[in-house]
Structure 1
């Protein structure tokens, strides 16, 4: 077997591992979406398993595409995943991952605090209350029901989609372009990686607009607020992917949601 074929086989194994991991989040999102789908008259007669499959269909395909894009580009840019390394026959450094956990949890917590403060500042312009009520969760039961989706889809699958599947290809594309028109480098520059971090962060923010549009009439202020707040978190997660690993970014993303839910539950109970 040629070295190139061996490399592609290893990348395919790593991609499959990340894909399976991402499907956990897809399943959580699909299960969370079933009540909304059942309220659609055309789908009301479908069985529960069929509704789950319908809810998971688009995300399952998109996940495959973005995993493949990341598998083809991330290893070449130095962006790292322990799961990908393990499955592809590399050397995952689980000790480094464990040492990164306090940083991930801390950055997830700080990101929530920063977003909460900016959200309050935006409230007079958007006409919406700041905090969890903006996301449309009016009842404590609904908030608790969303926890698996937040932790598994948000914490795991969104990181595979946005950091692995968007940030890595942007970094690779810009690096490739720079090598074509300028002096060739062995790895992407810091500037290239920051552009990739920013680009994937803005995509992360824009990706939240469709869900927002289903609950509110979009205004310029509301669009700016939603993209900005999520992009701030996306920058932090992208930096962790670059400097630590994809899995570290996953932990930080999950930590953000843990703090968000905790603060929201306390707020609801005190009202």
Structure 2
């Protein structure tokens, strides 16, 4: 079996687990909305899982195919599948991946704090249970680290780089740095926009609240995109997971204390 197909199977299985792991978190945030479903909850959840499997399967296939053309990829998983030594590379990226992930989480908290000075906050009275318990946050972090990185970086950022690559490339046939940064920023902005459905599900947002949601997530998306470019998708995954641990596990525990 070719490396690309083995990667596809591994990533799709990981995505399925990510979708399942995020369900408790989602049910806590959107519990009241789900009470008025036209079908039983288990039917709705099963349909969501199947729909997600199809979405991520398509995203993985396209992402892996295009990544090879523009010099992006998953060096650790690819090396492991091909029988190469990858422990040393994993060790070399672990510190910067976790460190930048923690930094991303801190930046999001700091920016959210700054926005609060302008009165841009979520109305807790409107949302009810705003912060799911830490164990749900821990499980949902796998979705962020795996599923969101596959969708936003492996698929979307890679697709953007490939499009720009077709328009302009360096003399040695590689994407230009400017195009890489443009793809990173665009994917990050879309990453921020992708958080709006959750916001809409828990409150009625103002224009400034929408801007706040996009901006704070865009900052993190730029960090994850740079890691994907320079270190590989695994590095972006580790970083995103670390950021979510800060936001969805450590922060709720501190707030409770």
Please tell me the TM-score bracket, short chain as reference: 0.7 to 0.9
Instruction: Please name the residue that 2:221 is paired with.
Output: 234
Q: CA deviation at 1:244?
A: 0.7
Q: CA deviation at 1:152?
A: 1.3
Give yes or no for the alignment of 1:98 onto 2:91: yes
Confirm or deny that 1:173 pairs with 2:163: yes
Contact 2:188 2:221 (8 Å CA) reproduced: yes
Distance 1:88 1:176 in 2: 30
Question: CA offset at residue 42 of structure 1?
Answer: 2.0
The root-mean-square deviation of aligned C-alpha atoms, in Å, is 2.7
* 2:1 is the alignment partner of 1:11: no
- The alignment status of 1:111 with 2:104, answered yes or no, reads yes
TM-score w.r.t. length of structure 1: 0.82
- 1:186-241: per-residue Cα shift (whole Å, max 9, x none)? 11111111111111111110100011011122222111111110010000011111
Partner of 1:217: 204
1:84 shift after superposition = 4.9
Cα distance, 1:13–1:166 mapped onto 2, change above 3 Å? same
Distance 1:14 1:184, change over 3 A: same
Q: Which of 227, 247, 266 in structure 1 is aligned with 2:254?
A: 266
Whole-angstrom distance in 2 between the partners of 1:202 and 1:126:
23
Q: How do 1:109-258 and structure 2 match up within 5 A? A: 109-128=102-121, 138=129, 142-179=132-169, 185-258=172-245
Partners of 1:251 and 1:68 in 2: how far apart?
Answer: 21
Provide the residue aligned with 1:42 in structure 2: 38
Q: Are positions 1:70 and 2:63 aligned together?
A: yes
User: Could you give the per-residue CA deviations for residues 42-84 of structure 1, whole angstroms, max 9, x where no partner exists?
Assistant: 234x5x4x44312313322221121112111112211121365
Structure 1 segments unaligned to the other structure (5+ residues): 1-5
Alignment match, 1:3: none
Q: 2:74 aligns with which of 70, 74, 81?
A: 81
Q: Which has the higher contact order (CA 8 A, sep 6+)?
A: 2
Distance 1:90 1:125, change over 3 A: farther
- 8 A contact 2:224–2:239 mirrored in 1: yes
Runs of 4+ aligned residues of structure 1 deviating over 6 Å after TM superposition are none
Matched residue SS, 1:200 = helix
What SS does structure 2 have at the residue aligned with 1:39? helix
Q: Distance in 2 between matches of 1:211 and 1:190?
A: 33
Is this contact kept in 2: 1:34–1:51, CA < 8 A? no
Can you list the C-alpha shifts for 1:160-189, whole angstroms capped at 9, x where unaligned?
A: 11110111111111011115xxx7541111
Structure 2 unaligned blocks of 5 or more: none
1:137 and 1:240 map into 2 onto residues whose CA distance is 36
Q: Aligned residues, how many? A: 252
Distance in 2 between the 1:189 and 1:172 partners? Answer: 11
TM-score, normalised relative to structure 2: 0.86
